[in-house]
C-alpha cells in the first residue's frame, strides 16, 4: 500500500513533513522516501507539506516544491496562478491541498498592501475565495478579486492561505476566541502596516492581543535579501536594526526582524518558532530524489543535496533551502519563472 495516499491529519506530532511522516511506524520505509509516488491511484498529486501545531486546534501548514504535478520551472507543487503555469496543474495542486487539509481554501489577490480582509465575508462564495487567478477558474475572465495581504476568519474548517516566494507569511491565532489570520509580509506590506491591520481585524472579531500566538513562515533572510542602500536605509528608519550586509556584499534588510518588531508593537509576544520543524523536515528530505532533481535543474547539483542541507545556515530562508520557491533563487538560476508556496492556517472544530 502506498501510504502517501493517506496523508495524516495528525502529522503535527511528527518532526517529518506530512506525507513522509505518515510512514514513521515502518522504519525501513522511513529511510527511503523515494519509494513514495508523487500521485495517487487516480493521478492526483500528493503534496509534501510541513505541518506545525501552532496552538490548541490550530495548525499551520507550509507547502513545499515537492509532490505536485506542475512541470518545468514550476515543478512540481506550484500553487500560484499568476506566474504563467498551466492553470490545470495549479488547480490540481490546490485541490490536493484542500483534500489534505480537510478544509476549504481561502485565497486573496495579494498586492503588497496594508489591507486586511475579513475572509468570513467571502470564503463561501467560491472554491478558493476570490482568487480566480489560477486553477479551474482561470477561464472565467475578469474576476471580482479581493485585493488584500491579510485574511482573518473566526470559522473552523477554513484554511487561510498566503502565497510567497521570498516574502514572509505570518500566521496568527487566538485559540480562546477561535480567530485565525494570515498575513503576507513583504517589504512594502510591512511598511504599509499589514501586521497591525491584520491584528486589528482579529481584535474586531473578538481576539485579544495577549492571547494571540504567531509564527513566521519561510522567507528570504537578512543575509540573502539584497536591496539598494536607499531602500535599506528607509526600511531601517522604520524598523531600526533591520539593515544588513548580505553574503553578496551589498546592503540588505531583514524582513523577519521587522515583522517581530511589528508584532511586539501590536502586543503580540507569544511567538512559536517554525524553524525546528522545518530543520527536521529538511534533513528528512536531504536525499529525496525529486528535490535533488529540482536542484540539478536549477544548476545547483554541487554540492550534492545532503551536503547542502548540512551546510545550510537557515532552513527558513527561501533562497538557501531548495524546498521553497524563491523568486531570488530562480533569478540566480536564470529561470524566467518560478512557482509560489502557500502558508496556511486552519482551525479544527
Ligand atoms: Zn538566506
Q: What pLDDT, in 10s, does the model give residues 210-231? A: 999 999 999 999 999 999 999 9
296 alpha carbon – ligand 1 mean position (Å)? 20
221 alpha carbon – ligand 1 mean position (Å)? 4
Q: 490540481: which residue's cell?
A: 92
139 alpha carbon – ligand 1 mean position (Å)? 37
Please give the Cα distance from 49 to 63 (Å, whole number). Answer: 5
CATH architecture group of domain 3-221+254-347: 4-Layer Sandwich (3.60)
Please give the Cα distance from 212 to 207 (Å, whole number). Answer: 7
317 alpha carbon – ligand 1 mean position (Å)? 5
102 alpha carbon – ligand 1 mean position (Å)? 33
pLDDT score of 324: 98
325 alpha carbon – ligand 1 mean position (Å)? 13
**Interval 234-278: pLDDT, tens:** 999 999 999 999 999 999 999 999 999 999 999 999 999 999 999
On whether the CB atoms of residues 114 and 197 are closer than 8 A, the answer is: yes
On whether the CB atoms of residues 321 and 65 are closer than 8 A, the answer is: no
224 alpha carbon – ligand 1 mean position (Å)? 4
Please give the Cα distance from 75 to 273 (Å, whole number). Answer: 28
223 alpha carbon – ligand 1 mean position (Å)? 5
56 alpha carbon – ligand 1 mean position (Å)? 31
Sorted by where each begins, the domain ranges of the chain are: 3-221+254-347
Which segments in the chain show pLDDT lower than 50?
1-15, 20-31, 124-125, 127, 130, 132-142
113 alpha carbon – ligand 1 mean position (Å)? 24
Q: Hey, which residues does 119 pair with through a beta bridge?
A: none
127 alpha carbon – ligand 1 mean position (Å)? 35
pLDDT score of 34: 56
256 alpha carbon – ligand 1 mean position (Å)? 11
40 alpha carbon – ligand 1 mean position (Å)? 34
222 alpha carbon – ligand 1 mean position (Å)? 6
Amino acid at each position: 500500500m502506498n501510504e502517501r495516499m493517506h496523508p495524516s491529519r495528525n502529522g503535527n506530532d511528527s518532526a517529518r513533513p506530512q506525507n513522509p511522516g505518515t510512514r514513521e511506524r515502518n522504519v525501513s520505509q522511513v529511510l527511503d522516501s523515494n519509494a513514495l509516488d508523487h500521485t495517487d491511484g487516480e493521478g492526483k498529486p500528493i503534496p509534501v507539506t510541513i505541518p506545525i501545531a501552532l496552538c490548541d486546534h490550530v495548525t499551520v501548514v507550509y507547502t513545499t516544491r515537492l509532490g505536485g504535478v506542475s512541470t518545468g520551472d514550476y515543478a512540481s507543487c506550484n500553487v500560484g496562478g499568476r506566474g504563467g503555469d498551466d492553470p490545470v496543474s495549479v488547480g490540481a495542486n490546490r485541490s490536493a491541498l484542500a483534500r489534505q487539509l480537510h478544509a476549504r481554501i481561502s485565497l486573496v489577490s495579494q498586492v503588497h498592501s496594508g489591507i486586511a480582509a475579513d475572509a468570513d465575508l467571502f470564503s463561501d462564495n467560491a472554491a478558493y475565495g476570490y482568487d480566480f487567478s489560477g486553477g479551474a477558474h482561470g477561464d472565467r475572465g475578469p474576476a471580482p478579486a479581493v485585493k488584500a495581504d491579510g485574511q482573518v476568519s473566526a470559522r473552523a474548517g477554513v484554511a487561510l492561505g498566503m502565497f510567497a516566494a521570498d516574502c514572509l507569511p505570518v500566521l496568527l491565532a487566538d485559540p480562546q476566541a477561535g480567530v485565525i489570520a494570515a498575513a503576507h509580509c513583504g517589504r512594502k506590506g510591512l511598511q504599509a502596516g499589514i501586521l497591525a491591520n491584520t491584528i486589528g481585524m482579529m481584535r474586531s472579531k473578538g481576539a485579544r492581543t495577549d492571547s494571540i500566538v504567531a509564527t513566521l513562515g519561510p522567507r528570504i533572510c537578512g543575509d540573502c535579501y539584497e536591496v539598494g542602500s536607499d531602500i535599506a536605509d528607509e526600511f531601517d528608519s522604520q524598523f531600526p536594526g533591520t539593515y544588513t550586509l548580505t553574503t553578496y556584499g551589498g546592503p540588505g534588510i531583514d524582513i523577519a526582524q521587522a515583522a517581530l518588531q511589528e508584532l511586539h508593537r501590536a502586543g503580540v509576544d507569544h511567538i512559536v518558532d517554525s524553524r525546528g520543524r522545518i530543520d527536521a523536515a529538511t534533513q528528512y528530505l536531504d536525499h529525496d530524489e525529486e528535490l535533488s532533481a529540482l536542484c540539478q535543474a536549477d544548476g545547483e547539483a554541487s554540492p550534492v543535496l545532503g551536503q547542502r542541507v548540512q551546510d545550510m545556515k537557515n532552513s527558513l530562508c527561501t533562497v538557501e533551502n531548495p524546498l521553497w520557491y524563491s523568486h531570488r533563487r530562480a533569478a540566480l538560476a536564470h529561470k524566467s519563472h518560478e512557482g509560489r508556496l502557500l502558508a496556511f492556517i486552519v482551525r479544527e472544530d
